Amino acid sequence: MSAAVPAQGFELATPARVAFGAGARRELPAAVAALGLSRVLLVTGRDPARAAKEIAAALGARGIATAPFAVVGEPTVETVRAGVRAAREAGAEAVIAVGGGSALDAGKAVAAVAALGPAGDVLDHLEVVGRGLPLPGPGLPFLALPTTAGTGSEVTRNAVLGVAEAAIKVSLRSPFMLARLAVIDPDLLAGAPPSVIASSGVDALSQVIEPFLSVRANAVTDALAREGIRRSARSLRRAYAAGLGAPGGGDAEAAARREDLALTSLLGGLCLANAGLGAVHGFAAPAGGMFGAAHGAVCAALLPPVLDVNLGALRARAPGHPALPRFTELAALLTGAAPADVTAEDGITFVTDLCRALDIPGLGRAGMTAADIPALVAKAKLASSMKGNPLPLTDAELTEIAERAL
C-alpha cells in the first residue's frame, strides 16, 4: 500500500468546464455561441486538422468569424508574439485552439498575452529566463480541443514556450490561463500514426506517474493518477501495435483504446496542474530547447532512467520516504498484479519494456552527445518541474539519467 497523503490542505485548479466523450467536439460551436462571441482566433498546427475545419464551418454557420493562426513546430516566444498580433488585427474576442500540445500551448499563451495591451510582452511573465511577473488578470477566453493524447494541455494552467536565445523551453504560468472549456473527443485520435501514439502516449503516462510520486501529491490527484496509470498500461502497447482505428470506424476495441489514451492524457493534465511533475519534465524543458526535440519523444526517452535513479536515490538517502512504497504500488498498477506480488523493480521493468516495444529513440537521435550532458544537467536543475521530484537529485544522479537517456 502507498503511504498516506500528508494531512495538509490543497487546492484544485481546473477549467471552468470539461466535456469528454466520443463526438464531444460537436458541443464546441454551441458553447462559443453561448458566450456571445462574434470573432475568434482559431489556432491550429501547421496543417489544420479535419476537426479544425469542422469547427470553423460550424462557427461560420452561426455567424461567428474565425481568423486562422497556424503554429509551425513547437511554440516559441516569437510564435506567441505573432499570435497576439493576429488576434488583435482580427479583433478576436476569444481564442480557440484545435490540435496537438503545440497548438494548445500557443493558443493558451496568446489568449493570456493578448489581453495585456500594447505594452505587454510574453517575456515579462516567463519563468527562469523572463521577469516572472504574475499575469495581472484574465486573458481572452480560451477554449481547447486536443487532437492528440499526450500533453493534457487543455486542462493545465501553463504553456511551454521555446526561447531561442537561451536555448531552453520554459513556462508561462498562471491560474488565469485555465481554459473556459476543454473538449476531449477520443474519436479525433483515429488514424494517428504509430510514432505519434508512442511518443504522446508515454508523455501522458509520465504525467500520471510523476504526480503520483510527487512531493505535492494529494488525495484527489492520487485517485486520478491511479486511473490514468491503469488505462495507459492496458492500452498503450496495444494501440501502438493495432492502431486506433480509422476515422468513422466502428471497431469497438479501437474505440476503447482511443478512450483510454485520451482519458490518460486528460487525467495527466489535471494531475500535473495540481501536484506537479518531476525529473522527467525537469530534463525535458532544457533538452527540447537545446536540441529541438519533440517534447513527447524526450519524455519517453527519460522516463525509465528517471524512475530507476529516483528509486536508488530514495533507498540510499531517504529509506523512510513516503514515495518508496508508492513505487511498489506503481508496479501493481502497471502490471495488474497485487501489491504483495510485485516489487518496485517490476514497475521499472514494465516501463522499460514498454518503451522498447514502442521503439522509443534515445536523446542521441535528437542530436545530444555526451559533451552536452553537463550543460543539460545545469539547466535541468533550474527547471520548475524538479520541485515535484520525490527528493532533490545530486549532480551525479542527474548525470546518470542523462547518460542512460542518450
DSSP for residue 131? -
In a shared domain, residues 251 and 362:
yes
57 within some domain: yes
Distance CA 360, CA 149 (A): 17
Per-residue confidence (pLDDT) for residue 108, from 0 to 100? 97
The helix (run of H) or strand (run of E) holding residue 41 is strand 39-44
In a shared domain, residues 341 and 395:
yes
SS3 at position 113: helix
SS3 at position 67: strand
In a shared domain, residues 171 and 202:
no
- Please say which residue of 184, 211, 237 terminates a domain: 184
User: Is the separation of the CB atoms in 37 and 62 below 8 Å?
Assistant: no
In a shared domain, residues 122 and 262:
no
Residue with cell 517575456: 123
* CATH for 229: 1.20.1090.10
Distance CA 52, CA 44 (A): 7
Per-residue confidence (pLDDT) for residue 18, from 0 to 100? 96
Per-residue model confidence as pLDDT tens digits over 124-171: 999 888 888 999 999 999 999 999 999 999 999 999 998 988 888 889
Phi and psi, residue 347, nearest 5° = -70, -40
Distance CA 347, CA 343 (A): 7
pLDDT value at 2 more than 80: no
16 within some domain: no
Per-residue model confidence as pLDDT tens digits over 10-58: 778 888 899 999 999 999 999 999 999 999 999 999 888 788 999 999 9
- Please say which residue of 156, 184, 212 terminates a domain: 184
In a shared domain, residues 157 and 93:
yes
Per-residue confidence (pLDDT) for residue 8, from 0 to 100? 60
Distance CA 344, CA 342 (A): 7
281 within some domain: yes
Per-residue confidence (pLDDT) for residue 107, from 0 to 100? 98
Rounded to two decimals, what is the model's pTM?
0.94
Q: What is the mean pLDDT of residues 221-236?
A: 98
SS3 at position 161: strand
- Please say which residue of 152, 184, 216 terminates a domain: 184
Instruction: Mark out the alpha helices in 248-393 (DSSP H runs).
Output: 252-275, 279-291, 295-317, 323-335, 344-357, 373-380
Q: What is the mean pLDDT of residues 259-276?
A: 97
Give the cell for residue 369. Answer: 552527445
* Vertex 249 angle, CA 228 and 49, to 5°: 75
Closest CA to 35 of 85, 87, 90, 92: 92
Closest CA to 192 of 51, 357, 373: 51
In a shared domain, residues 218 and 177:
no
189 within some domain: no
pLDDT value at 5 more than 60: no
* CATH for 173: 3.40.50.1970
Give the cell for residue 313. Answer: 536515490
- Report the chain's C-alpha Rg in angstroms: 20
Per-residue model confidence as pLDDT tens digits over 107-118: 999 999 999 988
220 within some domain: yes
> What's the burial of 322, exposed, middle or buried (CB within 10 Å: 0-12/13-18/19+)?
middle
Per-residue confidence (pLDDT) for residue 1, from 0 to 100? 44
In a shared domain, residues 103 and 210:
no
Per-residue model confidence as pLDDT tens digits over 368-395: 999 999 999 999 999 889 999 999 999 9
Q: What is the mean pLDDT of residues 231-257?
A: 91
* Vertex 156 angle, CA 155 and 160, to 5°: 135
Phi/psi region, residue 124 (left: phi>0; alpha: psi -120 to 50; beta: rest), is: alpha
* Residue 4, number of CB atoms within 10 A of its CB: 8
In a shared domain, residues 251 and 360:
yes
In a shared domain, residues 78 and 120:
yes
Domain count, the chain: 2
Q: Which residue range is the domain that position 35 belongs to?
A: 24-184
11 within some domain: no
Q: What is the mean pLDDT of residues 206-235?
A: 97
In a shared domain, residues 351 and 295:
yes
